[in-house]
Each structure stands twice: as C-alpha cells, then as structure tokens.
Amino acid sequence: MKSTTKTKTLELFLKILEENHPEMTEAARRKTAYALCESSMNILNENCDGLSKSMSDAVIDLEKYKKTFRDHIEDIQRTTKIMYDSFRKQGFVKPEVDRKTNKPMLKGRTTMVDEMVDFLNKMNKTVMDFYKDVYKIEDTKEAKDAGVQTTLF
C-alpha cells in the first residue's frame, strides 16, 4: 500500500509540476517531485505511527476498563451467591422464572425481604446486561457449557 500511495503521490506531483511549470526541464521536475514525494511520505509515515500508537493505547485502556468492570461484576456475583444461598436455606426467598421475560428472578416469601429481593433482581439484570452488551454472551446453553455464569442465580 505504501508503494502504491508513494507512486500515486509522485505521479500527482509530476502532473502538477508539468501543468504549473512547463518551463522546467523534465529532470528538474522529476527531482523536485521525488523530493516532495519523499517528504510527504515521511510525514505520512510519522502520522501512521502516531495513529497506531494512539489506537494501541486506546485498546489497552479499553481492556483495562473491561477487566475492572468484570472484576466488579464477579465480586457482585460472589457476594450475591453467599447471600442467596443463606436466604434460600432459611426460606426467605425462592427462585422463579419471570413469565414475561423468561429470565431468572427471586421471589420474597415475606414482606420484610421484598426490598432485598428487588435489589438482587436489579443486580441480576445488571450482570446479565453486562455479559450481553460487553462480551456479547447471552444466557444460553452454550454459555453454560463454556463455564460462564451470566446470571447471579
């Protein structure tokens, strides 16, 4: 691609010099076009190097942010699993499937627990959205077979 760009640039410079400076000899036009082409290619290469570094830095930052957010989600999953197991064993909650969305949710058995259950259901939605939007993983059989837990419960 660089040689094609360089060739096109050189041909353009030669054409412009020929149109604007017909009094110049062919050798002088070529010498000037080569010098201009070499300078423009150096600028282009520097620009490409800068863009490449910027892109690399952006990718590294994105991966850092993804890892930080993933660590946060996994911490939520660990903490919720402990709470969920305790609540389930003591009979405060029972797992259900929402008939409208067909997604797992909790149902409180007492009014005291209903607000906690609402919070856990919102956290479950956050975790499911994270895997769906960031990693493009749906709560499917393939995800479960790959060992990825895309829900809290």
The DSSP secondary-structure symbol of 122 reads: H
> Is 136 part of any domain?
yes
Please name the amino acid found at residue 127: V
Contact call for residues 124 and 151 (beta carbons, < 8 A)? yes
* Residue partners of 45: CB distance under 8 A and separation at least 6: 2
> Is 61 part of any domain?
yes
Condensed to tens digits (0 to 9), the pLDDT of residues 81-132 reads 888 888 888 888 888 888 888 888 888 877 767 777 888 888 888 888 888 8
The reported pLDDT for the residue numbered 106 is: 82
The reported pLDDT for the residue numbered 13 is: 93
Condensed to tens digits (0 to 9), the pLDDT of residues 132-146 reads 887 777 766 565 666
Count structural domains, the chain: 1
The reported pLDDT for the residue numbered 80 is: 82
The reported pLDDT for the residue numbered 52 is: 95
Q: Tell whether pTM > 0.85.
A: no
> Is 120 part of any domain?
yes
> Is 152 part of any domain?
no
> Is 150 part of any domain?
no
> Is 100 part of any domain?
yes
Between residues 128 and 32, which one has the greater pLDDT? 32
Tallying the residues shown for the chain, one arrives at: 153
Contact call for residues 13 and 36 (beta carbons, < 8 A)? yes
Question: Which residue has 């353009």 as its token pair?
Answer: 12
